[in-house]
Amino acid sequence: MDYCNGVQGFINFATSIPRNFTGGSIRYPCRKCQNKNYLHPDVVMMHLLHKGFMENYMCWYAHGELIVRNKSMGERVVGSTSSASNMHGVANDNSNPYRNMIMDAMTMN
């Protein structure tokens, strides 16, 4: 059930940024499709639930999340390219529990 909630958190984040939409669809980062195509968010959710996220998709760069590379801090996710994510409860400090849960699940084999 936690993974399902995490996938829903990802869908909420991805759909909170208007520039992610192309005809009401978003890119889908499942293992098979790897952000190459667009589908309706409900279909993306089903793909992610059945196929899982593509490998190493730790920063949702294709969905508006930014990563900062700093020599002293290494890499760190810092939030979205749009303030719209804040209106939907997605924190810019990487404290979204659903996102963290998905990231944890992605690193497990």
pLDDT in tens, 10-34: 999 889 888 887 788 999 898 888 8
pTM of this structure? 0.61
Above pLDDT 90, what percent of the chain? 16
Question: DSSP 3-state assignment of 15?
Answer: helix
Give the model's confidence band at 95: pLDDT under 50 very low, under 70 low, under 90 confident, else very high: low
Phi and psi angles of residue 12, each rounded to the nearest 5 degrees, phi first: -60, -45
Question: DSSP 3-state assignment of 79?
Answer: strand
Burial (CB < 10 A; 0-12, 13-18, 19+), residue 94, is middle
